[in-house]
Amino acid sequence: MSQLFTSLECSIIFLSQTLHLLDQDDSLYCISAWNDQGYEHTAEDPALLYRVESMPGLGWVLKRSIYKDELEPKWPTPEKLWDWDMWMRMPEQRKGRECVIPDVSRSYHFGIIGLNMNGYFHEVYFKKHKFNTVPNVQLKNVDSLKKDSYEMEIQKLLKAAEVLDHTKNPCEDSFVPDTVGKIYVMFIKMESESDTFTWTELAKCLHVWDLDVRGNHRGLWRLFRKRNQVLVVATPTSPYS
CATH assignment of the domain containing 132? 3.90.550
Residue 19 lies in a domain: yes
Residue 20 lies in a domain: yes
221-236 burial, b at 16+ Cβ within 10 Å, e below that, comes to bbbbbbebbbbbbbee
> Could you give the 3-state DSSP secondary structure of residue 129?
strand
Residue 241 lies in a domain: no
What pLDDT is stored for residue 28 in this prediction?
98
Give catalytic residues, as residue numbers. Answer: 85
What pLDDT is stored for residue 129 in this prediction?
87
Name the pTM for this structure.
0.90
Residue 82 region by backbone torsions, left for phi larger than 0, else alpha for psi between -120 and 50, else beta = beta
Residue 151 lies in a domain: yes
What's the CA gap between 30 and 21, in Å, rounded?
Answer: 9
Residue 211 lies in a domain: yes
What pLDDT is stored for residue 2 in this prediction?
46
Phi, psi of 64 (to 5 degrees): -55, -40
Residue 132 lies in a domain: yes
How many domains is the chain built from? 1
What pLDDT is stored for residue 109 in this prediction?
60
Residue 145 lies in a domain: yes
Residue 201 lies in a domain: yes
Per DSSP, the residues of 152-185 read HHHHHHHHHPEEP-TTS-TTSGGGS-S-SS-EEE
Please report, in tens digits, the pLDDT of each residue of the chain (241 residues total): 345 446 677 788 899 999 999 999 999 999 999 999 999 999 999 999 999 999 987 789 999 999 999 999 999 988 887 788 889 999 999 999 999 999 999 986 655 555 555 555 556 666 788 999 888 899 999 999 999 999 999 999 999 999 999 999 999 999 999 999 999 999 999 999 899 999 999 999 999 988 889 999 999 999 999 999 999 999 999 999 9
109 CB-contact burial (10 Å; exposed 0-12 / middle 13-18 / buried 19+):
middle
- Range of 126's domain? 2-236
